[in-house]
Each structure stands twice: as C-alpha cells, then as structure tokens.
C-alpha cells in the first residue's frame, strides 16, 4: 500500500492550505476545506476496512452516504498543516445517512473535522446535484470581500455586478455570480442549510461580516474563484470613495460573454 503522505490529493491540499494562509485568508484557525475523493483514490493509500473511530456529524445527508472526504480539522491553523498533516487533517467516510463519520486517517491528536462540517457537506450535496464533477468546498476570510460587506448593499445582483465591473476577467471566471447571506451564527446547521440553498445557483456564497464559501471541481478552480472575487473586492475598496469616471458596462460584458463563450446569470445584465 502506498504512503498516504505521497498522495497527490493530499500534497495538493497541503499546498493549498499553506497558500491560503500566506494570502492572509485564514488567520489563526479560520477557514476550512473539504475534498471529495473517489473510493479508488483513497483505497490506494488506506485500508478502507480499518476504521480508527466514529464521530457523530449532527446532521443528515443521505446523498453523501458512503462517500469519502479529506477535511481540515477543528481549531487547526492552516500554517501548521504542512508540518503535521496527520494532526491537522482527517479522511472520513460518511455512513448512517450522513449522521456518522468513520475516521480512516488523521486527527491523530484526538481532534475531529471542522465545526463548519455541516455547511460543507450540505453544500457538497447540492453542488453534486448541479455538477456531478464538483469535488471541493472551501471557506475562508478574505479581507477585502469581508470589508465590502460593511459598505456595499447585500443585494446579490448589485453585489455581483459591482465585482464584475472591477476586473475584466470576473464575468468570465464566475458568470454565475455571487450569492450573499446576511450575518448568521456560524458552525450551525442553520447556516449550513442557508449556504446550501445559495449554492444551488452560484459557486460563491459570501457570508456577510465573516467570509466566503466557494465550490469547484478541484482545488485550483475553487481557489481561483475566491482569488478573483477577492481581487475585485480589493479594487472596489480602493475606489469606492472616489468618483467613478470609467467602468465596465453591460455592453462590454456582453462582448466578454460572446468572446469567451460564457453566459452571465439570468437577470444580472441589462
């Protein structure tokens, strides 16, 4: 059996955690990632019949029964993942309709998955229904997007259009736009359910005064989604107090749609 520390999906997750911390998106123990693995991928590195312990999840997700996830741990600092993956990450299999997680590897110090596990799993279930190739849910606290939720109205069309207007690439990278939730108590099933509902129509969901959730087919795509939205928010925060003499208008956005073969979310452009 191969050494799990050499698994491409593990090394890529470690690099992603390190990069997110370096970007300032995941201060202290802020942020979390979950990566859906095919059973065959996990079986190359682990005896899937060897369950270390079981952990109640506190929610139900029958659609995910039997699926395997690599998940960051609760209370863990992203900066430490590269130094001790086994303590900071865990590989679990959902059973009992999603109500139980079987730990197959990791959380070696007795820990468990992130407190945002319900939001992750509910979002995975929804995104898989939309796109069967979805594999990643990522949560972090990018400073400019967070700041934007204090000074910009939270109407989703308005919020999306503002981001699209900041960088030419935005409408190409996330033509499905950005959905927004008002402030809610984190780490609860309620915010998980609300996030999952928003994930039905967009891969990016902003939590006002908190951070953002992103979903995608791989770690690079999901990181890139958040990175692009955060760059747009940075530009907005630099110019929001200034008179705007130029912008990217709807006419230009329609040109981008045609040139890059994307379609902006219905109702977001004139």
Catalytic residues: 116
Q: Which residue has the tokens 């679990």?
A: 92
| Contact indicator for 7, 45 with CB cutoff of 8 Å | yes
Residues 6+ apart with CB under 8 A from 60: 97, 98, 99
Q: Which long-range contacts (CB under 8 A, 24 or more apart) does 233-238 make?
A: 233/142, 233/144, 233/145, 233/147, 233/148, 233/163, 233/166, 234/144, 235/166, 235/167, 236/144, 236/148, 236/152, 236/162, 236/163, 236/166, 237/144, 237/147, 237/148, 237/151
| Contact indicator for 145, 42 with CB cutoff of 8 Å | no
Residue 4 to residue 27: CA distance in whole angstroms? 27
Residue 151 to residue 146: CA distance in whole angstroms? 10
Residue 159 to residue 179: CA distance in whole angstroms? 8
Residue 247 to residue 100: CA distance in whole angstroms? 50
């Amino acid at each position: 059996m191969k050494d799990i520390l050499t698994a491409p999906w593990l090394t890529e997750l470690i690099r992603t955690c390190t990069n997110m911390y370096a970007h300032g998106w995941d201060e202290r123990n802020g942020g979390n990632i979950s990566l859906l693995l095919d059973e065959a991928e996990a079986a190359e590195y682990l005896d899937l019949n060897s369950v270390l312990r079981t952990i109640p999840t506190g929610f139900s997700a029958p659609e995910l029964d039997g699926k395997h996830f690599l998940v960051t741990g609760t209370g863990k600092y992203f900066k430490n993942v590269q130094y001790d993956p086994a303590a900071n990450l865990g590989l679990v299999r959902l059973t009992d309709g999603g109500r139980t997680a079987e730990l197959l590897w990791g959380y070696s110090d007795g820990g468990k998955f992130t407190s945002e596990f319900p939001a992750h799993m509910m979002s995975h279930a929804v995104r898989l229904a939309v796109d069967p190739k979805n594999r990643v849910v990522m949560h972090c606290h990018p400073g400019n997007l967070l700041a934007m939720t204090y000074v910009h109205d939270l109407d989703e069309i308005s919020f999306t259009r503002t981001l699209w207007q900041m960088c030419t690439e935005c409408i190409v990278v996330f033509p499905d736009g950005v959905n927004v939730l008002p402030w809610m108590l984190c780490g609860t099933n309620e915010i998980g359910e609300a996030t999952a509902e928003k994930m039905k129509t967009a891969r990016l969901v902003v939590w006002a005064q908190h951070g953002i959730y992103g979903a995608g087919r791989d770690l690079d795509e999901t990181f890139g989604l958040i990175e692009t939205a955060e760059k747009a928010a940075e530009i907005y925060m630099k110019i929001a107090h200034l008179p705007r003499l130029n912008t990217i208008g709807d006419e230009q956005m329609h040109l981008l749609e045609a040139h890059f073969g994307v379609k902006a979310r219905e109702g977001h452009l004139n």
